[in-house]
Amino acid sequence: MTTVLPRETAPKRPRRQRTSTARIGATGKVRSVGIALIWVLAALNIGTLCWVLVTSLRSHSSIFQSPWGLPIPPVFSNFTTALVEGQFGVAALNTAVMTIGGSLALVVLSAPAAYVLARSTRKVSGAVFALFAMGIGIPVQVIIIPLYVLLEKLHLIDSLWGLFLALVGAGIPFTIILLTGFMRSLPLELEEASALDGCSSLRTFWQIMLPLARSGIITVLTLNAINIWNETFLALVLIQDTDKQVLPVALLNFIALQQFNGADYGGLFAGVLILVLPMILLYIWLGRRIIEGMTLGASK
């Protein structure tokens, strides 16, 4: 009887390994395309900002003669036109007070609430957290009528205090959600050690946890500052007096004024630069801390 030996075959590559290699290659291509698109978008934004900066230093006639020309010589009087005729000086002061005060008030009100929500294990804490999450999804346009009626009953229409309260109330849900996620990423061992040393919960929060949450606090401060600085809808509805207007509303009024007094695009671009440049500089200064705070807050 003859014995048939099995034919030796070359080892086949596992199908799973081939599939994973192809998937990694496809993921790398998608990532490269995404990075390229991000750089294109960044270049477009930087180019637009540079064009606005250059155009703000040119006269109205030279802008129409050569839209892509250089400011030779630079016309710095455009900024004087924006500050005086467009009343950007008073509006910038009002906006700065609203931005600084509103951002600080949001942190003072939201940080303790976020700490409690992050450490509490009760069911009601989850319900409260979900309530704040729902508040993020409600547009301001939906609640503007009851908000206007409430502020009118409190005699806060056409008042900077009324606008301040509206801005703080609209920013609380986002601030609490972001700080809660960041507080959850802080180590529990430090709280246990402080409890063994006899520290109260308030002292632990104030002296230990709050300094550790500095990155998250800087993140919400900066994001709220940008949001309050650029807020237009609430200011447009709640403020009528030109002496109490903020920068976005002042820019809209300046555009409307030019329709009657003659267009001055040099002064208009100077006003746009006054509006956007402070927040761009703030983001350049604190951009890395913003990304760090948001990344740490999303780790858990």
With respect to residue 58, please indicate whether it lies within any of the assigned structural domains. Answer: no
Residue 213 within any structural domain of the chain: yes
Residue 172 lies in a domain: yes
Q: Up-side HSE of residue 145: CA atoms within 13 Å toward CB?
A: 1
Kindly state whether residue 210 falls inside one of the protein's structural domains.
yes
Which domain, by its residues, includes 155? Answer: 93-237+275-297
> Which of 218, 223, 239, 251 lies closest to 92, judged by CA?
251
Upstream peptide bond of 73 is cis (omega within 30 degrees of 0) = yes
Do 216 and 297 touch, CB atoms closer than 8 A?
yes
Number of Cα atoms under 13 Å in the Cβ half of residue 200? 3
Domain assignment of residue 251, yes or no: no
pLDDT at residue 13, as a whole number: 52
List, for residues 162-212, the tens digit of each pLDDT value: 999 999 999 999 999 989 888 888 887 877 787 777 777 778 888 888 888
With CA atoms as reference, report the closest residue to 71 among 81, 83, 60, 57: 57
pLDDT at 153: 93
**CB-CB contact of 277 with 109 (8 Å):** no
CATH of the domain at 124: 1.10.3720.10
Tens of each residue's pLDDT in the chain, 300 residues: 455 555 555 555 555 555 556 566 667 778 888 889 999 998 998 898 899 899 888 888 888 888 888 888 888 888 888 888 888 888 999 999 999 999 999 999 999 999 888 888 788 888 888 888 888 888 888 899 999 999 999 999 999 999 999 999 999 999 999 898 888 888 878 777 877 777 777 788 888 888 888 888 888 998 999 999 999 999 999 998 888 899 999 988 888 887 776 677 888 888 889 888 888 888 888 777 666 666 655 444
Please check whether residue 27 lies inside any domain of the structure: no
110 lies in some domain: yes
Interatomic CA distance for residues 56 and 75, integer angstroms: 8
Longest Cα separation, the chain: 112
Q: How open is the CA angle 192-107-228, to the nearest 5 degrees?
A: 155
The reply to whether 76 falls in a domain is no
pLDDT of residue 167: 94
Task: Report the domain count for the chain.
Answer: 1
The C-alpha atoms of residue 68 and residue 75 are separated, in whole angstroms, by 16
What would the 3-class secondary structure string for 129-141 be?
A: HHHHHHHHHCCHH
Cβ atoms of 300 and 109 closer than 8 Å: no
